[in-house]
Structure 1
């Protein structure tokens, strides 16, 4: 009896079409463009505070590593050390792992790893070399709390995937969320 019930459920579940939603790099980058100009506060203890205003941000999917995204960006950092304030123009490259949060219906980037950075102005001096890796890692931690894409509640497929995502796959230039239709 149990095996018959299992076979019936297996037959019903395999008869259901798989629901997929593909997101391209272009879609993610369009969403990220809405974040440009926004200022992110970064605190590095009581002696150093900073605000980072994003000027450029791009995501590449699965091109460098098959299961990761590469995030490249440029930001203007206003560094505040008590009475001294400096503005730095920096560029950074990160590797990150995409994660879908089904409760929020949002795609996040986690596990940021700093790949490299460059100071685009010479005003930072030797202090920049000491502070920049720490500042960039703090910014990566901060950005991992904000989605790079949020599913729309208006689309029935997206609403369904929001509740029942089964897998997340990355291929060069594309991220795919896969789910199954729920039983009636």
Structure 2
């Protein structure tokens, strides 16, 4: 009987503490970030070197890994469909991109941005397009960096849940943990 009482007491304390945790922070999972990226991901841009090569780029299939490869960072992967026009005529390529970014929480907007985005790996198909894409990659990197500095990856809503509504009102900062972003509330 005493063991059962201690077990119930421990369970009760655990429930209270987990409830308190919900009152002190809001957690956004990798899956929620990925869903937001799929909905909001509409990067489409023309880049190039005037007179030499121009490319129309559409980024799709964007997904994230939060704090897994590098602490404090988000790793993004996605596919870029590229239509190139150059002195050699029109060509097409696909790039599998891997990028890293620093998540940043803008308290006034209740939005998470992916700052200082950097392409860390780019695989090009067909391979014959690799040299052209290597020339374009710094322009693509700068364009993506600018895009994600201006467009939030996730925006807190007051309509989705009570906890998210509280986060929008009382959030201070952002912590990156493996597989999730944690937004602590003000005390």
**TM-score of the alignment, normalized to the shorter chain, above 0.5:** yes
Partner of 2:11: none
Residue 141 (structure 2) aligns with: 136
CA contact (8 A) 2:118 2:141 kept: no
Aligned mates of 1:120, 1:78 — CA distance in 2 = 12
Residues 117, 148 of structure 2: 8 Å contact kept: no
User: Does 2:173 align with 1:167?
Assistant: yes
Contact 1:28/1:59, CA 8 A, preserved across alignment? yes
> Which position in structure 1 is the counterpart of 2:70?
65
Deviation of 1:104 (Å): 1.7
Which of 174, 183, 186 lines up with 1:180 in the alignment? 186
Q: Tell me the equivalent position of 2:12.
A: none
TM-score by length of 1: 0.75
- What TM-score do the two structures reach when normalised by structure 2? 0.74
Matched with 1:158 is 164
**Equivalent pair of 1:92/1:136 in contact (CA under 8 Å):** no
- Work out whether residues 47 and 139 of structure 2, in 8 Å CA contact, stay in contact via their aligned partners in 1: no
**Counterpart of 1:41?**
45
CA distance, structure 1, for counterparts of residue 152 and residue 145 of structure 2:
12
Partners in 1 of 2:67 and 2:130 — Cα distance? Answer: 35
Hey, what does 1:31 align to over in structure 2? 36
The equivalences for 1:99-110 within 5 A come to 99-110=104-115
Query: How far apart are residue 64 of structure 1 and its match?
Result: 1.4
Taking a change above 3 Å as real, the CA distance of residues 107 and 40 of structure 1, as seen in their structure-2 partners, is same
| 1:82-122 deviation digits (Å, cap 9, x = unpaired) | 99433221011111100111222211100112211110223
Note the residue ranges of structure 1 that are not aligned, 5 or more in a row: 1-16
Q: Hey, what does 1:112 align to over in structure 2?
A: 117
**Normalized per residue, which structure has more helix?**
2
Taking only aligned residues, the RMSD between alpha carbons, in angstroms, comes to 2.6
